[in-house]
Structure 1
Amino acid sequence: MRLDKINTEEAFRYLGYGISAPDEQTAEIAADCERKLLEVIDAKYTYKYFEIDKNDSEPGSIALCGTSLRLCGGAIFEHLEGCNGVVLFAATLSDGVDRLIRQLSVISMASAVITDSMASAAVEQVCDIAEQEIIKEFAGKYTTWRFSPGYGDFPLETQALFLNVLCAQKRIGVNITGGGLMTPCKSVTAVIGVSDYEIERKRRGCSVCMMKDTCRFRKKGEHCGV
């Protein structure tokens, strides 16, 4: 999957600009960073569907049929209320983006930081595209928005088994480091709930975000848009 354009407005929000426009010099650097980034992005995603095991009675978690992966925490439990199945998916910009950011950090830290923010915006664009393509496979069903490990009390530690279940290393080249971080670093895992019946589309917001305590938008009384 290739992107034609990066959501630079979102990237500048990540950099703390809020609704302000960057100065001319920064905008010129950003344009160059976007061009370089688009050249190296090789976006990929993979997914699998699992039925929820309705016979499982362990409190505070959700068991999936055909896998040992459990989705733990009140946040994901609430998010999937009314669902009979889930889509697990992972997406990545691939390792060329990591290499570009490392190279730029030696030449220009400003370019590296801007490129990193642009890559964060880009991987969310890829997830948006992937989510829409996946949902098309479930025509006639009802779906939730994507919910990632780290939101609320949905443990980040889930990601190792999550990726293993998806065979993500083989399929899209995503793995977990010894420190528990995904590599390539611009990668995302998420869960989409699937139901035969209409379900409440719960609002996204600060309450389920793993960044809520340190978020620079929140400290300024702003919102990231999620």
Structure 2
Amino acid sequence: MNKQLIRHYLQAQTVMDQTTEQFIDECIHEVQTIAQFKAVYQIYHLSHHPLMLKEVNIPLVSDDLKFYFKDCHECCIIACTLSTMIDRQLKYYEHIDMHKAVVFDAVSNAYLEECCDDFEKTLDFKERTFRLAPGYGDIPMQLNKTFATLLQIDKKLGVSMNSSGLLIPMKSMIGLIGIGKNMKKTCLSCIRKESCELRKGGQRCYVKD
């Protein structure tokens, strides 16, 4: 697993001391052992002005998506989860050791990203954007509910949604990928590069490979 990404998730949450590094190694082993990664996806054609998923007439009301999908002809909606055992173990650590719980949470987040990245590679898209999720930038969080229904993630993944629109199990994710244009996650490719407080402070919201 990418320890750099794990440390990025831990930034400002805990001191990176010897105990934390030991917890990272322990949690990597544990997460990889108990996680049950599952994923589903569906590809739709895009229409522009307004931006929509053609086959299902679902509007994508987001300036960010208009920017990133400008030259894309299709959109892949992907949903994935690490399943329930990760949530149970996180709650266990929250009761006995909050330091380890914070590390376990970060490792789980990193592992979900890594598993989803690996799954995307099997789809073999020649030209694609990076993955964007509802709640990122101005992409409406309520799209989670729309896509959850569209992909039937309750039946196919065992993933449900609470009243706030958050996915359950927590280590689950829905993302959108534009197909037809290569775009990696960099500061220069970001719609918010001119106003980003992180960038002004010499930081990034992502980990550079």
TM-score past 0.5 threshold = yes
> How high is the TM-score relative to the length of structure 2?
0.85
Give the whole-Å Cα distance in 2 for the aligned partners of 1:145 and 1:133. Answer: 15
Contact 1:149 1:155 in 2 (8 A): yes
Task: Note if 1:52 corresponds to 2:46.
Answer: yes
**1:87: Cα distance to partner?**
0.7
Task: Note if 1:10 corresponds to 2:5.
Answer: yes
**1:219: Cα distance to partner?**
8.3
Name the residue aligned to 2:149: 164
Give the whole-Å Cα distance in 2 for the aligned partners of 1:219 and 1:114. Answer: 27
Name the residue aligned to 2:132: 147
| 53 and 179 in structure 1: CA distance in 2 versus 1, 3 angstrom threshold | same
Name the residue aligned to 1:94: 83
Output the aligned Cα RMSD. Answer: 2.6
1:145 aligned counterpart, secondary structure:
coil
Task: Note if 1:116 corresponds to 2:105.
Answer: yes
1:103 aligned counterpart, secondary structure:
helix
Name the residue aligned to 2:32: 38
Matched AA of 1:182: L
Give unpaired runs (5+ residues) of structure 1: 1-5
* Aligned sequence identity (%): 27
> How high is the TM-score relative to the length of structure 1?
0.79
Name the residue aligned to 1:83: 72
**1:29: Cα distance to partner?**
2.5
Matched AA of 1:169: D
Give unpaired runs (5+ residues) of structure 2: none
**1:225: Cα distance to partner?**
2.0
Matched AA of 1:167: Q
**1:83: Cα distance to partner?**
1.5
Give the whole-Å Cα distance in 1 for the aligned partners of 2:182 and 2:4. Answer: 30
Equivalenced residues, count: 202
Task: Note if 1:189 corresponds to 2:174.
Answer: yes
Contact 1:10 1:121 in 2 (8 A): yes
Name the residue aligned to 2:203: 222
